[in-house]
Amino acid sequence: MLLKRRLAPLMLERTQPILNIERRAFMKQTLSLGALALLTGCDSIEDNTPVDRILKAMSNWNDKAQGAIFDPNKLALTYEQKDVVDPFRFNAFYGEDEVVVVAEADYKLELSGMIADKASWTLAQLRELPQQSQITRHICVEGWSLIGKWGGPSFGDFLRKVGADTTAKYVGFKCADEYFTSLDMATALHPQTTMALTFNDKTIEPRNGFPFKIRVPTKLGFKNPKHVMEIFVTNDYPGGYWENQGYNWFSGA
Ligand SMILES: Nc1nc2c(c(=O)[nH]1)N[C@H]1C(S)=C(S)[C@@H](COP(=O)(O)O)O[C@H]1N2
Ligand SMILES: [Mo]
């Protein structure tokens, strides 16, 4: 039921607007999808170029190089309240009729791996932490982007509070819908990376990730896990749902 998996959502005829946006970002020295396209020659691809060849070209510009360029303090662009799209678009590896509805009463965020205090967290406890919010652009590799406002605890502050080993390489996420993904530690600690309990100042809707989504404005949409059930810290590469099917793991936006 849930695993109505879509095939290769990289729709070439729809990538052009994103490449334009990102090309401008590239000129400002940020790491971007456009940078990938330029550096790999991927923007000269045509509609009939086989997807596997594109992905192979993209992975030549590899995770290690991207990680070395990533500036942990460089902020993603922020926008104005008037730019916020509410309700926000839904996307997942299944249809909207199959959205996972997590019950607040039973919810507990589990912590595992290289974390000193592995006690679980209720939603009420997460709401008591200091909250931050930003208006940023979410960019989906399928060829759309929209601006939203996500708010909640700073993920970096949370990781430090629970005694995560911040010298570890990865932070992994397991979600209620069996989705999974992972971040490099520098991105997990980035000041804008947020445990988004709210969207546009209201409790985030189930379809957009209730109880929360890790909002990572420096990454493409698929690296922003919704319905997070477990967070773990590790030095073993955890991969991810789309990453394991060939999407570039670093995927900076
Ligand atoms: N748990 C979970 N998180 C997920 C996904 C998913 O299928 N399941 N899809 C990812 C993708 S590809 C995108 S673009 C965004 C969509 O978030 P939205 O529904 O709030 O627009 O969630 C990301 N996080
Ligand atoms: Mo996406």
Q: Cis omega before residue 50 (within 30°)?
A: no
155 in Cβ contact with 205 (< 8 Å): no
| Three-state SS at 182 | strand
| Residue having the nearest C-alpha atom to atom 20 of ligand 1 | 208
147 in Cβ contact with 135 (< 8 Å): yes
CA 253 to chain centre: 10
Domain 81-245: assigned CATH number: 3.90.420.10
State the distance from the centre of ligand 1 to the C-alpha of 215, rounded, in angstroms.
10
Cβ–ligand 1 contact at 208 (below 6 Å): yes
State the distance from the centre of ligand 1 to the C-alpha of 225, rounded, in angstroms.
6
Computed from CA positions of residues 46, 47, 48, 49, in that sequence, does the dihedral angle turn out positive or negative? positive
Q: What is the pLDDT of residue 56?
A: 56
Q: What is the pLDDT of residue 72?
A: 83
Cα Rg of the chain, angstroms: 17
Cβ–ligand 1 contact at 61 (below 6 Å): no
- How would you write the pLDDT of the chain (253 residues) with one tens digit per residue? 344 344 344 433 334 444 444 444 444 434 455 554 544 444 444 445 555 555 555 555 677 778 887 888 899 999 999 999 999 999 999 999 999 999 999 999 999 999 999 999 999 999 999 999 999 999 999 889 999 999 999 999 999 999 999 999 999 999 999 999 999 999 999 999 999 999 999 999 999 999 999 999 999 999 999 999 999 999 999 999 999 999 999 888 8
Q: Is 248 exposed, middle or buried (0-12, 13-18, 19+ CB in 10 A)?
A: buried
Residue 106 tokens read as: 């039973």
The pTM is what? 0.80
Q: What is the pLDDT of residue 181?
A: 98
Residues with Cβ within 8 Å of residue 204, at least 6 apart in sequence: 150, 196, 197, 198, 210, 211, 212, 213
CA distance 154 to 130: 8
Characterize 44-61 residue by residue with b for buried, 16 or more Cβ atoms within 10 angstroms of its Cβ, and e for exposed: ebeeeeeeeebbebbbeb
State the distance from the centre of ligand 2 to the C-alpha of 125, rounded, in angstroms.
29
Q: What is the pLDDT of residue 23?
A: 45
For the chain, what are the domain ranges?
2-69, 81-245
Q: What is the pLDDT of residue 149?
A: 98
